[in-house]
């Protein structure tokens, strides 16, 4: 397990999204998996008190988010380091959620624990491997339950202000054609397209599949009260996905309600550990 030093960055660089195209746009469907760790699914917590509390019921002690940057400052850009201050992707960090879903008349609840088990640096890129463990808490979802959360492994890769999500094993050469989970800084001037097929078509902003961040706001979860949080919304014809990302911490909650069927979910942070 590594320990990380505080890096203070004095500026933010804005990201941008290309616009304009009349080509047919492939519209992806939302994923039910909490981004951490949906992919949907990056983040300071309320200073002092919220950063040092022990979180019930998972009893994961949190530490100062200001210390959560990798010890690779000589190989990463200032923008990448600022991104890692906003989203503390450090080996040993973990986030635990209560995930409640429904499918038709079925309802169930799971615990989803996402832990960073490995980090790698391929200058100018930095990436972390995340193990997502899912445990059923309540209910007996049948085989026809739509998209229940599943235990799996994935990667987050940082390239400046961009955070890509990739499946295991990581493909370093394919970062730019991977799912673009976040584009910093928040809130940003316009939306971006996580789906690489849509990005390749240079769609106009605001079409289905476009993701944007608004805020900041304060939120309360079972893990505590957090400031400097943003509502990250992805537009879909079947219903929008909305997650809440708090700077210096990460994803703290998310939800989706399908417009055409009895299917949806909501998850909320119940514990976290920042090394």
Structure tokens at 267: 């998850």
Closest CA to 29 of 263, 267, 188: 263
Q: What is the pLDDT of residue 1?
A: 39
- For 167-206, the pLDDT digits (tens) are 999 999 999 999 999 999 998 888 999 999 999 998 998 9
User: So where are the chain's domains?
Assistant: 49-139+146-273
Share of the chain above pLDDT 70, in %: 73
- pLDDT on residue 58: 47
| Mean pLDDT, the chain, whole residue set | 81
**Statement: residue 42 has pLDDT above 80:** no
pLDDT at res. 260? 85
CA 80, CA 160: separation in Å to the nearest integer? Answer: 4
Q: What residue has token string 């079972």?
A: 222
What does the alpha-carbon distance between residue 138 and residue 182 come to, in Å, rounded to a whole number?
32
pLDDT tens-digit readout, 108-164: 999 999 999 999 999 999 999 999 999 999 999 999 999 999 999 999 999 999 999
Q: Does residue 2 surpass a pLDDT of 60?
A: no
DSSP of the chain: ----------------------S----PPPP-S-S---------PSTTHHHHPEETTTTEE---GGG-S-S-TTTS-HHHHHHHHHS---TT-EEEEEEEEEETTEEEEEEEEEEEEEEEEETTEEEEEEEEEEEEEE----TTSSS----EEEEEEEETTEEEEEESSP-GGGGGGSEEEEESSSS-SS-B--SHHHHHT-PPTTSTT-EEEEEEEEEEETTEEEEEEEEEEE--TT--EEEEEETTTEEEEEEEE-SSSSEEEEEEEEEEE--
Taking a C-beta distance cutoff of 8 angstroms, is the pair 216, 44 a contact?
no
Answer yes or no: are the C-beta atoms of 29 and 202 closer than 8 Å. Answer: no
| Rounded-to-integer distance, Cα 55 and Cα 106, Å | 30
Mean pLDDT of 81-99: 97
Which burial class, exposed, middle or buried, applies to 92 when counting CB atoms under 10 A from its CB (0-12, 13-18, 19+)? middle
Q: If one looks up domain 49-139+146-273 in CATH, what number appears?
A: 2.40.360
On whether the pTM is more than 0.85, the answer is: no
Residue 159, classified by CB atoms within 10 Å of its CB into exposed (0-12), middle (13-18) or buried (19+), is buried
């Amino acid at each position: 397990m590594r320990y990380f030093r505080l890096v203070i960055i004095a500026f933010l660089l804005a990201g941008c999204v290309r616009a304009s195209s009349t080509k047919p746009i492939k519209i992806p469907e939302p994923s039910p998996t909490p981004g951490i760790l949906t992919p949907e699914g990056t983040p300071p917590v309320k200073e002092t008190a919220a950063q040092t509390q022990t979180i019930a019921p998972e009893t994961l002690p949190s530490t100062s988010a200001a210390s959560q940057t990798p010890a690779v400052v000589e190989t990463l850009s200032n923008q990448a380091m600022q991104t890692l201050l906003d989203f503390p992707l450090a080996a040993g960090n973990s986030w635990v959620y209560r995930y409640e879903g429904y499918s038709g008349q079925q309802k169930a609840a799971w615990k989803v624990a996402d832990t960073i088990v490995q980090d790698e640096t391929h200058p100018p890129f930095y990436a972390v491997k995340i193990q997502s463990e899912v445990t059923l808490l309540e209910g007996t979802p049948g085989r026809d339950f739509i998209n229940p959360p599943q235990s799996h492994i994935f990667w987050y890769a940082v390239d400046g202000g961009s955070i890509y999500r990739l499946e295991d094993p990581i493909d370093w050469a394919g970062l730019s054609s991977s799912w673009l989970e976040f584009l910093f800084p928040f809130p940003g001037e316009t939306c971006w397209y996580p789906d690489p097929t849509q990005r390749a078509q240079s769609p106009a902003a605001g079409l289905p599949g476009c993701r944007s961040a608004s805020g900041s706001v304060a939120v309360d979860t079972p893990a505590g009260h957090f400031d400097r949080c943003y509502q990250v919304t992805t537009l879909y014809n079947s219903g929008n996905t909305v997650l809440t990302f708090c700077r210096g911490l990460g994803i703290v909650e998310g939800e989706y309600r399908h417009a055409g069927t009895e299917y949806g979910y909501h998850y909320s942070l119940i514990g976290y550990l920042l090394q």
